[in-house]
Structures are given as C-alpha cells and as structure tokens.
A and B are shown apart, each in its own frame.
Chain A
Amino acid sequence: MKMNAVPRIPEQTPSLSRRTFLGFSAASAALVAFPALLSACSSDSSSGGKKTTVRFWTWYTQQKDEFPKLIAAFEKANPTIHIENRLFGGPNDYLPAMQAAVSAGDPPEIFAPHVYALEYGKAGVLADLKQELGESFLSDFFDSANQEYTTGGKQYGLGWMAQTFGLYYNPDIFARAGVQVPETWDDLITISQTIKQKTGLIPCAFANNPANTDFLFPFITQAADDPTLLLKLDAQTDGASWNSPYVVQGLQKMDTIIKAGVFNPNSSGVQTPQAEASFYNGQAAMMFQGSWGPQDFAQNAPASFVKLYKVAKTPALAKGGKHWCANQAGAGLSVSALSKNKAAAIEFIKFLYDPTRYTSTMNTTNSMPATKSAAAQVQDPILKDMTSWLINGEGSPHIMFGKGTNDAVSSAVDAIFAGTVTPQQAAANIQDSVKRAQGR
C-alpha cells in the first residue's frame, strides 16, 4: 500500500482559493511598495517644521567648499528656506540619479541640467527662467551661455561656469626645446617633433578616456569658419549633415595630428587626472584642456608649477585664421517647474548670482564666470586671458544637445584614435548613428 504523508483534503473543504490568495498578495505588495511611494512624494514637500526645502544637486566640485558657505549665508538671510545641498563626484555618478529623479516626476528644485536642459524644458520639467527672472537678469550672461539653454523663446538654464579650451604649456620645457607657442595646428606638429627630439618628453598630454569630443569640435568650426555650423549639425537643420566636407576636413586634421605623434601614446586609455599629472609633473610639455584646468592645477599640482605654466589659444587652421574654440557653459543651473517650492528656488538662484557674490565665488574657486560683469573682474591671470577669448568673439559651440549626437561623435573620435576608420568613414558613421538614435 502506498503511504501518503500528507492527508488528502476533500474538495468540499472550505479554504482560501489560489485566486483569492494572489489577489490578497497583490494588495499586500501594494502595501509593501506604499511607504516607498509615500516617501518619494513627501520629498517634494517642506520639512523641518515650517521651512521650505530646496534641493540643490550638482557635480560642481570646484565649489565644494564655497557652496556650504553660500548656503549658510542664504539660510541666515532667509530663515524659512532650507537648502539641501547634494554634491556628486562627477557626471557619471550624477546623471543616473538626476534622470531617476526626473523619471519619478520629482526632480530637485535646482539642479545641473547637463545636456538635457532643452529636452527637459520642452517636456515641462524645467521652468522658463526668462519668465521667472526677467530679461534684465539674463542680460548679464554671455550670449552663448544664454543661447545654449534657449529654445522656442524660453530659457531653461543659466550658465554657472563658462568654458573654453586652450593649449596649456610649460615654458621651461619650451625653452629647453627652443620652440615657440604654436599658432597653427601644423606648427603644433612641428614643435612636437622638436620637443620629442630635444627633450624626449611627451609633446602634449591628452586624455581620451572617455572620448574627448571637445577636441574635434573646434576643427569643424575652423574648417567651416562658421560657428553656427555645429548648432545646425546638432539640430540636423538647414540640411546640415555630419557626412559633409567640413566635418571630414575636421576629422582629417585631427587624424593627422594623432598620427604625427603629438599626444601621449595610448591616449584612449588615459583619463584627465592622469594626463594632468603627466603635464604638471614635467613629463609632457603641453596639454590640451578646458578652462577648468587652472582649478585642477591649483588643487593638485605643485605650487611651483602653478606659478610656472602658461596658456595659449587653441591653434588655428592657418596663419592669421581665427582660433575658433568653445564658449558655452557646460556647467549650468536649472529650476524645476514641477516643484511647489519653485519660488524659494528662484530666491536662491538670485542670491547665488548676485553680481558681487557670484564674482567672488568664481574668483575664489578659479572658475570661469558665465556673466560679463564677473568676467570683467577675473583675477587669475590664466583665466583672465582665456575669458578674453570669449569676449573677443572666437568662441563656438562645443556642447551638443541633439539626440544621439554625443554618442555618435564619441564613437567617431574613439575610432579615429584607434585608427580603425578613415575620416570619411567616421563622418558617415556619425550621420548614420545620429539618424538611428533619433528613431529610438
């Protein structure tokens, strides 16, 4: 006889049906998830009694010491507002958190929009700052900084730190090699060979991990001698195509420089801190870097080097040509249109951009300001020099807002550095990739 350990339960036994159990489980699941939803919703509201909370998210570590001081001063002047400062280590850490907050419909009241300002603005996530702050408030910002955050007559961000690029160099090594500051890219190739021969050092430190698209864009503007071309390419308007002669010319020039051995070997494996270290430790004579270089050098390089190094304009395509380079503000601030604490956020924005306070913040942190009034008072001689390039009209776009543009250009730059494609193929690949991305 077969023995059953578990007694058979008659069918007519009154019991819980499987369907009822699953329904009950689903209700319990909702209860389990409810506290999380509740906490997500509650973060939009005030906390700490009657205080209004303004969450402030950036990755602007250059101001890591200044933000707490500014916040303390603001809270003292505005006792009903509490600023919750969250400073991320870098864009790689920041972006997923920011996007998750936006996806949840609960972005911070003030945050760095990165390249999403226009898309978020059009989707109703960001407040129109033209309406909130007025034209007169915005008129002090560089036109390029305002333009990059504007679409359809509305402005969705403010420049916090402006940017340009330059060729930082070590005058001692230049003297040892007997070379002069290069005016053109061809000059750069020539002096690089001399530096290598006479000193054995790396001519120019360069970080291409991740792909350094900032290096490619000036070539395209210089080839076209038209700072609006990149905007058209990015927006894919006026029939602009990445697979066009100016882009190919830009890629060709970049390819020539790479193949001439101007940069450190293995650039695609080198990150910015490593490239900077090889420059300020005297292993490289030059470094192509953004205007945040002085901040990094002030924080990390030996004091003797900080006094020594100099900066030259990004080389031009031909003698007497314009030294087109970047002029936008990759570091910006936007205000959430979804928060009920928007008014408090606007108050903090006005406080931060008070001309005296903003100028002081930028000077204290060796940062390039995005306003004309602060630009006129830059103290650091290197930054002062670089800021003058923006004012003198050699600036061009370097931040791409279009869907798929950055991915496509990054892949092309990587492929050129790896030597796996020709400039013509790279240009065609960018256009194909952008088209594919727009269909996603």
Chain B
Amino acid sequence: MGTIAVATVSTRRRRSSSRTDAAIERRWGYAFILPTVAFFIAFVAYPFIRAAYLSLSRWAGYGTVEFVGFHNFVALTQDPIFWQALRTTILYTAITTVVQTALPLLLAVLLNAGWRGGVLFRTVVFLPAVVSFVVSGILWQMIYEPNFGLLNRALRAVGLGGLAQGWLANGTTALPAIMFVSLWMSLGLFMLIYFAGMQGINPNLYEAARLDGANSWQQLRYVTVPMLRPITAVVVTLNMISGLKVFDIVYTMTGGGPNHATEVLGTYLYSIAFGSRTASIPAIGYGTAVSMVVFVLAMGAVLFQNWWTRKARDERD
C-alpha cells in the first residue's frame, strides 16, 4: 500500500513537473515568435487593414477621410484607363512569365550540357540581375532614345536605319521594349535556379532514358522538365507576381506612356495616389482601390503556385 502511495505521489510529481516544463517551453516559444508577430502586425497587418479601409474611402491625403463604401470599385469599372492598365498588366505578366520561364530553362539545359566557357557565360548573363530595376530602366531608356540612343545608332551604322525608331515613344513597340529589359534582367537569375535544380536530378534517370532509346529532346521532355516541375512552379510564380506588381521598370522607362500604352496597375495607382507625373490632385482612396485589385491578382498567383506545387509533390510521391 505504502509502495503504491509513494509511486502515485511520484507519478503526480512527474506529471506536474512535465506540465510545468511544457508550459515554460510554450512560453519560450511565444517569446521567440513575439518580435516577428509584433513586426508583422505593425508593418504588414495594420497597414493592410488600413489600406483596405482607405480603398472604401475618399481621401486626397489631407483633410478628413470620407467612407464611401464600394464607390471606388464601381468607379474603377467605368474607368477606361484602369481597364487598359489591367489589360496591359495581364499581357505583360503572361508574356514575361512564359518567356522568362522557357528561355532560362533552355539556357540552363545548354549550360548543363557542358559548354566550354559556360562559367563565363553564366556570370555575364547573371550580371544584370544585380543591377536595380531603376538603374536598368534609366540605362535602357538611354539605349532606346530615338535620336541619340545606342540602339538606333547601331542600326544606322549597319545599314538598318529604316528600322530605327522611337522605341519607347511608339505605342506598338514601347511595351515589348520594356519586356525585353525585364527578360535581360531576370534571365541570369532564373537560369541559375534551373541550373541548380538540374544538379539534383538523378543521372540514372538519363541513363535509363538513353537505354530506352530516348534522344536529347526526349530526355528533356520526359526527364528534365518533369523533374524540374517544383522549380518551374517557383519560377512561374515569381514571374507572375513580379509581372502583376511591376512598377519601377515601367515608371522609369515610360511612366506608363505614350498615351497610356504601357500603363500598368502599378504605375496607374501611383500616379492616381500621388499625382506625381501629371501633377493631378491625389486620390489616395481611389489609388488604394487599384492596389486592392493588384493584391487580389497576386493572391490568385500565390494560390495557383500552392496548388501546382502540391500537385507536383503528389505526382512525385
């Protein structure tokens, strides 16, 4: 009996001690994540809630904030420049996502095949990635300059003066010209991501494919591409998000012009909210409504990435 009583007390003490340890551990856990949560609330959650409220308000950045419900969103549906900016943003995102996913993959495959001078090539292609978008935008604006720019001068020098034109002044060529700069900047980074991913593919898979008679294209089609699917999902998502929220490169190169031909949601919301380029009275509530549209689109891209990654993982498992 006495032995049982001692054992019970001992068990209770052990349980009590275990509970105390767990509680202390839990409190330490909270303490560790507290700074992150506090910063998240201060600099992400609160500004987001505030932005959501402003999107339902009329406010010029001074004076009182007037709650107007969904008025800004209704006004957006009647705003032709908003629709143009939305179309351009989607077009820009679609084209840059496809090109900036496919081309780096192909270059990575070529590099992986063991080119001579591959390291030098990789370095050169990667260099633009370390230059900021603003600097690149200004640099390319000078290259595209119609009268004294490097591109037109080069065209004239090789007898192709007929092709020389105002690349950023022409509504037809301005957007492709910006897309090219985006490709120039991102090619190296995405190529490296793919190249790193290829190092993780089991060489036995290629050997097996070769034994089955697969040629180079078939090895790429049936081994490399499927094995890189999780990486492709990341590259596609990064491209989609950067396309949807594109601002700096467009703003520095064309400011959304000419005649809104390169207007994207980022430049449009900025010019509405701050009226900086055309010196209009700011409409921060309306501009924030545009930013909410960008948020919804970016959210869709993230959900798409989650779905794709999960699908790729399930297929692999």
Contacts and interface: CB of A to CB of B under 8 A. Distances in A.
A266 B148 CA distance: 12
B112 interface: no
B179 interface: no
A407 B280 contact: yes
Interface stretch (A77-85, A249-257, A411-419): A411-419
A151 interface: no
B22 A9 contact: yes
A278 B171 CA distance: 23
Contact of A14 (B23, B62, B258, B261): B23
Contact of A411 (B34, B63, B260, B276): B260
B276 A92 contact: yes
Interface in B245-282: 254-255, 257-261, 271-272, 274-282
Interface stretch (B75-83, B89-97, B125-133): B75-83
A404 B281 contact: yes
A102 interface: yes
Contacts of A268: 166, 169, 257-259
A436 interface: yes
Given A7-B22, A210-B278, A29 B284 contact: no
Given A29-B38, A29-B39, A210 B257 contact: yes
A103 B62 contact: yes
B165 interface: yes
Nearest to B78: A436
Interface string B137-169: 000000011111000000000000000011111
B61 to A, nearest CB: 4
A209 B71 CA distance: 32
Nearest to B15: A10
A134 interface: no
Contact of A125 (B37, B62, B255, B257): B62
Nearest to B27: A16
A367 to B, nearest CB: 20
A410 B278 CA distance: 7
Given A28-B34, A411-B259, A417-B258, A15 B165 contact: no
Contact of A96 (B145, B276, B280): B276
Nearest to B21: A7
A440 B171 contact: no
Contacts of B258: 209, 268-269, 414, 417-418
A19 to B, nearest CB: 12
Contact of A95 (B15, B40, B276): B276
Range class of the B interface residue count = 35 or more
Given A29-B38, A95-B276, A420-B171, A211 B282 contact: no
Contact of A99 (B61, B71, B169): B61
A123 B79 contact: no
B166 A418 contact: no
B276 A211 contact: no
A210 B277 CA distance: 7
B22 A264 contact: no
Interface in B11-45: 15, 18-19, 22-23, 26-27, 30, 34-35, 37-43
B146 A265 contact: yes
B22 A91 contact: no
B72 interface: yes
Contacts of A14: 19, 23
A13 B17 CA distance: 11
A411 B22 CA distance: 65
A270 B60 CA distance: 31
A261 to B, nearest CB: 14
A274 B149 CA distance: 11
Nearest to B173: A269
A26 interface: yes
Contacts of A28: 34-35, 37-38, 41
Interface string A1-29: 00000010110011110000110111011
A274 B39 contact: no
Interface string A70-105: 000000000000000000000110011001001100
Range class of the A interface residue count = 35 or more
Contacts of B148: 274, 277
A267 B144 CA distance: 13
A403 interface: yes
Contacts of A7: 18, 22
Interface in A204-255: 209-211
Contacts of A440: 58, 72, 75, 272, 283, 285-286
Contacts of A210: 255, 257, 277-278
A115 interface: yes
B304 interface: no
A404 B283 CA distance: 10
Contacts of A13: 19, 22-23
Contacts of B75: 436, 439-440
A28 B45 CA distance: 13
A354 B147 CA distance: 45
17 contacts: A14-B23, A16-B30, A26-B41, A32-B38, A102-B62, A115-B281, A269-B169, A274-B148, A402-B281, A407-B275, A411-B81, A414-B259, A414-B260, A418-B259, A439-B71, A439-B75, A440-B58
Given A32-B38, A102-B62, 10 more contacts: A16-B27, A16-B30, A29-B42, A103-B62, A115-B279, A404-B280, A414-B258, A415-B259, A418-B259, A436-B79
Interface of B: 15, 18-19, 22-23, 26-27, 30, 34-35, 37-43, 46, 58, 60-63, 71-72, 75, 78-79, 81, 144-148, 165-171, 254-255, 257-261, 271-272, 274-286
For the complex of A and B, the 8 pairs showing the least CB-CB separation, nearest first, are A269-B169, A266-B166, A28-B38, A29-B41, A414-B259, A29-B42, A266-B146, A269-B166
